[in-house]
Amino acid sequence: MSFLDTLRLWDEAVACVDRQDLSDALRIFLSIKEPNSKIYFNIGCLHLINQELDAAEKAFDCSIGKDDHLAIAFFQRGITFYKKERFEECVADFQHAFKELRGNQLIDYKTLGLRYKLHACEVLHNMALAEAQLGHWEKAQENLVTALSYKTESKLILIDRALQSILKQKLFKPVEFPSKVLFTPKKHYVAELEKKDYLGKAKVVASIIPQDDFSGFAPLQPQVEDGPADPKAPEVLKALEGEPHTVLFEFVPETSDELAVVPGNVVFVLQKGADNWASVIFNERRGLVPYNYLERLEITLASKQVIQTPPRREPPSRPERKSGTLVETCIENSSCIVKVHFTYNLAVCVSPGSTYETLLEKISKKLNLPAASVTLSFNSEAAGQKEINADTEMGKVWSSASAGRLTLWCKIKETDGTRQQQIHLVALHSYESKNPEDLTFHEGDTIIFLSKVNQDWWEGQCNGNTGIFPASFVEEVSVNG
């Protein structure tokens, strides 16, 4: 079967799934000879929907056989093994999936045609559940503790609930992939399947010259004694409608309203919406492109040259992420991981049995706030806080720790003095987040300084979000309380 035939059938099968005609979709997929790893993955997902577990397992085997680095295929086969109660094989597949993440927080499969993000913490979540099914409760707990270092804010509750269940030796529900979400063929390949009429339709042109019997491609033209008319304006002027921008990142459209562009293309922004989408024109085609994928240009008509504005400052090299550093440090020192719920979540390493003053000093130093302004408690404000202070019996505090972990809540006393202690920064340049742990902000935004990662990277809070950013992009400002 030719590549074009495979592409055509693949596109038809995906369209059937969109129409909820799953049986027809599966029939078309199975008619494809020599499917690739993505098509085998789609077949496995459809079998999984039909609870045809043996067929699903075989399809995912073929998908992995074609591409043994496809983490999502290992994840789906792990789910299949879990449903078949083959928990040891299930654990092995989730371990393979986690390995293929290569220390990253997630894999976004959008560029490969699958609208799904596989999170490392979810893989570890399912691995812990499979270990629990085998009765390996300690291994399950270790997996969830590791998941804490890979979690995103949106996955915090998921991991916390799973950890609470494991501590009580109770099972929980696995994270399942939405099986109706399938790999789709690249849109620009599918577009090439449509027949194109490059000649177009014939157009009748009538001559205004009397007795013009010319039957060629152009009618007889009158002669002008005064020389040629003014030269036609260069075609480039037609393209200069709108504001010129250069494309920074490749954008793959997902709807017919969007426009495909690649880095280096020069587009002209006709309109920028409040939702960060820009209506642009490129090669006489119009469509929508995310505005943060573009950078403004200046055009000099006299020279007919495109002159780019000075480039934005490039951030320094990123600090290395060392997964599990806090956990390993605590284990080596026989210390306890104290997780603190604040405006954002943080963790510190404290020796069990430490005094209230030592615990308070560790947490306030991490928050970069004076100890006198920090209040600790056993519970959240919604649950009715039980405050911890100098009169609290610390033996009871440390006795509530489980498996080397203690969870506390923290709030700041609202005083003018506290607010003055916070370090406020102003953004000199915009910084777009390229990684889940980065902090996005725009030029002029105010950022609350939290901590230093290293000389080049700091941690801060802006617009309710917390993350790291290049220190050279900001400067400190004085704030009146």
Residue range 167-214, pLDDT digits in tens = 888 999 999 988 778 998 877 666 666 555 545 555 545 545 555 555
Residue 203 lies in a domain: no
DSSP string for 243-270: EEEEE-S-B--SSTTB--B-TT-EEEEE
Residue 249 sits in the same domain as residue 329 = no
Q: Are residues 255 and 355 in the same domain?
A: no
Domain boundaries, position 240: 234-309
- Name the residue with higher pLDDT: 467 or 188: 467
Asked if residue 429 lies in contact with residue 452, where contact means CB atoms within 8 angstroms, the answer is no
Q: Would you call 295 exposed, middle or buried from its count of C-beta atoms within 10 A (0-12, 13-18, 19+)?
A: middle
My answer on whether 10 and 147 are in the same domain is yes
What total of structural domains would you count in the chain? Answer: 4
**Which whole-number Å values give the CA distances from 175 to 16, 123, 169, 414, 477, in the listed order?**
26, 8, 18, 40, 45
In contact, 231 and 248? CB cutoff 8 Å = no
Residue 285 neighbours by CB distance under 10 Å: 10
Q: State pLDDT tens for residues 363-410.
A: 888 877 788 888 888 875 544 557 888 888 888 888 888 878 888 888
CATH number at 259 reads 2.30.30.40
160 and 19 fall within a common domain: yes
Is residue 414 domain-shared with residue 431, that is, in the same domain? no
Query: pTM for the full model?
Result: 0.44
Q: Is residue 189 part of a domain?
A: no
Structure-derived torsion over alpha carbons of residues 391, 396, 398, 399, reported in degrees to the nearest 10: 180
Residues 254, 341, single domain; the answer is: no
Domain check: are 98 and 125 in the same one? yes
Evaluate whether residue 21 is within a structural domain: yes
Residue 81 has pLDDT above 90, yes or no: yes
What average pLDDT does the chain have?
A: 78
Residues 77 and 161 in one domain: yes
The answer as to whether 79 is a domain residue is yes
Q: Which two tokens stand for residue 261?
A: 């562009």
Q: Is residue 406 part of a domain?
A: yes
In a domain, 225, yes or no: no
Residue 417, pLDDT above cutoff 50: no
Strand-strand pairing, 446-452 and 457-462? antiparallel
Is 27 in the same domain as 140? yes
